[in-house]
A and B are shown apart, each in its own frame.
Chain A
Amino acid sequence: MPKTLFEKIWDAHVVSHPPNSPAVLYVDLHLVHEVTSPQAFTELRQRGIKARRPLQTIATMDHSTPTTPRGADGLIPVTDAMAVTQLKTLVDNCNDHGIPVFELGTEKQGIVHVIGPELGLTQPGMTIVCGDSHTSTHGAFGALAFGIGTSEVAHVLATQTLLQNKPSTYEIRVDGQLQEGVTAKDIILAVIANIGIGGGTGHVFEYTGSAIRSLSMEARMTICNMSIEGGARAGLIAPDETTFDYIQGRPHAPQGADWDKAVAYWRTLPSDEGAIYDKQLILDANTLAPMITYGTNPGMGMSITERVPDPKQISDNSQKMALDKALAYMDLQPGQPLLGHKVDVVFVGSCTNSRISDLRQAAEMIKGHRVAEGVRMLVVPGSQTVKRQAEAEGLHKVFVEAGAEWREAGCSMCIAMNGDQLQPGQYAVSTSNRNFEGRQGRGGRTFLASPLTAVASAINGVVTDPRTMVAERAYEVSPA
């Protein structure tokens, strides 16, 4: 029987499958951060259990950490007492169990879903979990990666396994070629607008098709990252030469003969010809426009040139109520365009769009422009490694000269629990992944979009179609 990529990885990790019980699934790599782990370590301590495979576990600090500049001592100051306790708890717990931990501001620290791939920890065919729903990011490498709750964090620490019911499969095929100014972020926002935020529940996505194949690894990560926003706990992309090229030479990548062996195995992973998915969605990349959200969940998205939908045209009562509530929160009118809508804050960052290629794109677009009067723009690199690379390329100067803030690495304004947040009533164009009420700060209003759309909007101070700017730039640089 032909198998899908997902089935191959699943089958290779089933430790046992007792009757009337979920499968016991082996976990290759467990990523840990400060917010969802303390109660799990407490559980272990109460039972007198030590982590089973501390060296298949890695911890970082990202969610509750400030991204403000370093002090004279070279350290990033943490002023929130609860955050101080939480960070210290993580270090103590990791030391207790022999788990490597990247402390705030150190060389390898960063957002958990940025550092896994950049250190070469994330590899095809693996099972990867983390107490964080955007663990789906790592699926870009053809790894089965998904978010778990804190009870499950304890399960993995103690046993390196999880009890799992097998999910169904969902192929999302995107063929064609993206137009200038349209990016991976727009693909995934379009997918979610299409199926809704519950559309993938119980499923694992596999993104296929020529448009996906032509994307870089970082763009693939942007797509897989938001699988959970479509309800799917995991999203996969089959590994190929692009994947292998990205991994080779990274700190934890296999080397020498091990590398050859690994690649040979990875080549067996892609879904077999004729493999069957339980569900399918087909999207045409050629006709995609830049996307933006207007509401309070990531499924409330549209092409940037469209108008805000009208609740009166929705027959389902609970859907209508949800849209009414969303528009009231966002203070938007049905039928209103978003193009030209005022913007207070622009946030470039988060595990969706804070990698070096995102920052290069953002810098390229803002070069020679300034952030509009009255707009605050934050650029927050996903990791210390990304930050160093960006600074080596001089990108930070481009941002600062344009009037943007260049920050330390972390989740920052994606989650508003670290000091970076919107003020009530403010509008943000954000490259992050969630526009839920209050997500970026109580009363704050989020338009999710690509880095290109975010920067174009920062320059004009209003929501802007990046294609108009791309065209302008092409004109500026073309020889007379």
Chain B
Amino acid sequence: MEPLKPFSASLVPLPIENIDTDQIIPARYLKVTDKNSLAEGCFTDWRQDPDFVLNNPRYQNGHILVAGHNFGCGSSREHAPWALKAYGFRAVISTYFADIFRNNSLKNGLLPIVVDAETHQALLDLAEEAPEAEIHIDLASQTVTLPNGQKASFPIDPFSKTCLLEGIDELGYLMKQTPEIEAFEVSHPARVQTLQS
């Protein structure tokens, strides 16, 4: 995975709470066997509505989604962050994320950024007033900076942060645990015979 560098981008406001992964990518798009062909399915049903924000020319250049509370709930489909990335999003900002979506996003370099309600509102206001305005996201210092200089910090677990900043892939990391895994299997023989009976 590519190391994640600081970046600036403008916003797309979608302040609806509990946006589930069936909206982000409906199930009928899940018959693919790859990750890259999902842009078309991203929010596709909502995009049928001409007034939907992704159809609004003001937000055509936005690469950061500002979404409502509990974004990404529902299905565990990793197709959701794949679709968001394929569509061009680099980060999603919300006040809260569903667990599995957050995990899946971190593994794909799509930053799930949790901010407090006040910052969230400030970002929505900014998107409304100045759609072209860019905010700056710096993972190393865990800060979001608005054009007026206002800063907000966001939490991230130290392990995911290191992985993203250094481009470490988790599978490679886990493979290095092989001696420990072997030792565990030897000391827990009952665990490794599930289907052998």
CB-CB contacts below 8 Å: A37-71 with B: 38-39, 42-43, 47, 49, 52-53, 55-58, 63-64
Task: Establish whether residues B31 and A47, one from each chain, have CB atoms under 8 Å apart when the complex forms.
Answer: no
Task: Establish whether residues A86 and B33, one from each chain, have CB atoms under 8 Å apart when the complex forms.
Answer: yes
Of chain B, the residue at the smallest CB distance from A298 is: B74
CB within 8 Å for A201 and B180 given contacts A83-B31, A151-B104, A417-B31: no
Of chain A, the residue at the smallest CB distance from B170 is: A163
Q: Which residues on the B side are within 8 Å of A231 (C-beta)?
A: 70, 73, 98-99
Q: Which of B45, B69, B159 has a CB less than 8 Å from the CB of A442?
A: B45
A110 to B100, CA, bound (A): 24
A442 to B178, CA, bound (A): 45
CB-CB contacts below 8 Å: B150-197 with A: 157-159, 162, 170-171, 173-175, 177-178, 180-181, 184-185, 188, 191-192, 194-197
Q: Is A297 part of the binding interface, using a Cβ–Cβ cutoff of 8 Å? A: yes
A155 to B31, CA, bound (A): 22
Task: Establish whether residues B28 and A131, one from each chain, have CB atoms under 8 Å apart when the complex forms.
Answer: no
CB within 8 Å for A149 and B76 given contacts A163-B174, A201-B98: yes
CB-CB contacts below 8 Å: B86-121 with A: 96, 98-100, 103-104, 107-108
Q: Which of B32, B78, B195 has a CB less than 8 Å from the CB of A149?
A: B78
Task: Establish whether residues B15 and A436, one from each chain, have CB atoms under 8 Å apart when the complex forms.
Answer: no
Task: Establish whether residues B195 and A100, one from each chain, have CB atoms under 8 Å apart when the complex forms.
Answer: yes
Q: Which residues on the B side are within 8 Å of A152 (C-beta)?
A: 103, 107
Q: Which of A201, A434, A442 has a CB less than 8 Å from the CB of B96?
A: A201
A255 to B18, CA, bound (A): 46
Q: Which residues on the A side are within 8 Å of B27 (C-beta)?
A: 63, 415-417, 439
Q: Which of B35, B73, B171 has a CB less than 8 Å from the CB of A198?
A: B73
Q: Is B129 part of the binding interface, using a Cβ–Cβ cutoff of 8 Å? A: no
Q: Which residues on the B side are within 8 Å of A49 (C-beta)?
A: 175
A3 to B150, CA, bound (A): 45
Q: Is A233 part of the binding interface, using a Cβ–Cβ cutoff of 8 Å? A: yes
Q: Which residues on the B side are within 8 Å of A161 (C-beta)?
A: 174, 177, 181
Q: Is A471 part of the binding interface, using a Cβ–Cβ cutoff of 8 Å? A: no
A160 to B171, CA, bound (A): 11
A21 to B177, CA, bound (A): 12
A37 to B177, CA, bound (A): 23
Q: Is B68 part of the binding interface, using a Cβ–Cβ cutoff of 8 Å? A: yes
A387 to B181, CA, bound (A): 40
Task: Establish whether residues B30 and A417, one from each chain, have CB atoms under 8 Å apart when the complex forms.
Answer: yes
Q: Which residues on the B side are within 8 Å of A86 (C-beta)?
A: 31-33
Binds B, one of A274-282, A303-311, A319-327, A397-405: A319-327
A276 to B122, CA, bound (A): 39
CB-CB contacts below 8 Å: A316-375 with B: 318-319, 321-322, 325
Of chain B, the residue at the smallest CB distance from A37 is: B33
Nearest CB on B from A146, distance (A): 8
Kindly count the residue-residue contacts between A and B in the assembled complex, taking CB atoms under 8 Å apart.
197
Q: Is B51 part of the binding interface, using a Cβ–Cβ cutoff of 8 Å? A: no
Task: Establish whether residues B30 and A198, one from each chain, have CB atoms under 8 Å apart when the complex forms.
Answer: no
CB within 8 Å for A28 and B191 given contacts A39-B33, A163-B174: yes
CB within 8 Å for A80 and B180 given contacts A147-B100, A321-B16: no
Task: Establish whether residues A159 and B178, one from each chain, have CB atoms under 8 Å apart when the complex forms.
Answer: yes
A228 to B69, CA, bound (A): 16
Task: Establish whether residues B31 and A80, one from each chain, have CB atoms under 8 Å apart when the complex forms.
Answer: yes
CB within 8 Å for A438 and B22 given contacts A151-B107, A197-B70: yes
Q: Is B77 part of the binding interface, using a Cβ–Cβ cutoff of 8 Å? A: yes
A325 to B16, CA, bound (A): 9
Q: Which residues on the A side are within 8 Å of B35 (C-beta)?
A: 39
Nearest CB on B from A188, distance (A): 16
Task: Establish whether residues B78 and A160, one from each chain, have CB atoms under 8 Å apart when the complex forms.
Answer: no
Task: Establish whether residues B100 and A233, one from each chain, have CB atoms under 8 Å apart when the complex forms.
Answer: yes
Q: Is B23 part of the binding interface, using a Cβ–Cβ cutoff of 8 Å? A: yes
Q: Which residues on the B side are within 8 Å of A457 (C-beta)?
A: none
Q: Which residues on the B side are within 8 Å of A35 (C-beta)?
A: 30-31, 77
A12 to B107, CA, bound (A): 26
Task: Establish whether residues B45 and A438, one from each chain, have CB atoms under 8 Å apart when the complex forms.
Answer: yes
Q: Which of B17, B45, B99 has a CB less than 8 Å from the CB of A437?
A: B45
Task: Establish whether residues A47 and B23, one from each chain, have CB atoms under 8 Å apart when the complex forms.
Answer: no
CB-CB contacts below 8 Å: B49-86 with A: 68-70, 73-79
Which of A49, A58, A150, A202 has most chain B Cβ within 10 Å?
A150
Q: Is A154 part of the binding interface, using a Cβ–Cβ cutoff of 8 Å? A: yes
CB within 8 Å for A436 and B23 given contacts A26-B188, A39-B34: yes
Q: Which of A63, A82, A151 has a CB less than 8 Å from the CB of B171?
A: A151
A64 to B34, CA, bound (A): 16
Task: Establish whether residues A297 and B73, one from each chain, have CB atoms under 8 Å apart when the complex forms.
Answer: yes
Q: Which residues on the B side are within 8 Å of A271 (C-beta)?
A: none
Task: Establish whether residues B31 and A64, one from each chain, have CB atoms under 8 Å apart when the complex forms.
Answer: yes
Q: Which residues on the B side are within 8 Å of A255 (C-beta)?
A: 197
Nearest CB on B from A437, distance (A): 6
Task: Establish whether residues A201 and B99, one from each chain, have CB atoms under 8 Å apart when the complex forms.
Answer: yes
Q: Which B residues are within 8 Å of any A CB, using their own CB?
A: 15-18, 20, 22-23, 26-28, 30-35, 45, 68-70, 73-79, 96, 98-100, 103-104, 107-108, 157-159, 162, 170-171, 173-175, 177-178, 180-181, 184-185, 188, 191-192, 194-197
**Known contacts A35-B31, A158-B174, A159-B175; 6 further A-B pairs (Cβ under 8 A):** A26-B191, A163-B170, A198-B70, A297-B74, A318-B16, A417-B30
Query: 9 A-B Cβ contacts within 8 A?
Result: A20-B162, A39-B78, A42-B34, A149-B103, A159-B177, A159-B178, A318-B68, A434-B75, A436-B22
Nearest 10 CB-CB pairings of A with B? A38-B33, A82-B31, A198-B70, A149-B104, A149-B78, A147-B76, A133-B76, A417-B27, A150-B78, A151-B107
